[in-house]
Structure 1
Amino acid sequence: MSILEEGTEIREKETVGQEFIEWAEKYWHLDKLVKIENPDKFAGETCDYRYMRNIFIEKINAIINDRLG
């Protein structure tokens, strides 16, 4: 975020991926389903929610960019 001289904040425009993840967290409680403090382990690896969240955002944005041309 950037701040104007008078202290008014300008919010950067969210991407569709960010908007979707925030919606999923609000209505599906995605951030509660995936254990953040004690991540799930599968085949010796752990799933960090913050990492997974960024992957989802990037993939959603990439799909939209590909379709728009």
Structure 2
Amino acid sequence: MLPDTSGLNICKNIRTKYKYLIIMLIAKTADQDKIISLTYGADDYITKPLNHLEVMARVKAQFR
């Protein structure tokens, strides 16, 4: 829900050029939104409201 573009487009553009870790922090909770984000190249998907301990655990898990 960005003003000028979508997070999915940003994710797709980053993924075509780089291998950065991408964790989507999204308000949308539908399964279809999660699947699309992962298909576009996200490594993980966390819904809002965020639990900071969950975010840290997921980041650490991605680095393992």
TM-score class, shorter-chain normalisation, is under 0.3
Q: If you compute each CA radius of gyration, which structure gives the higher value, 1 or 2?
A: 1
Q: What TM-score comes out, normalization by structure 2 length?
A: 0.27
Q: What TM-score comes out, normalization by structure 1 length?
A: 0.26
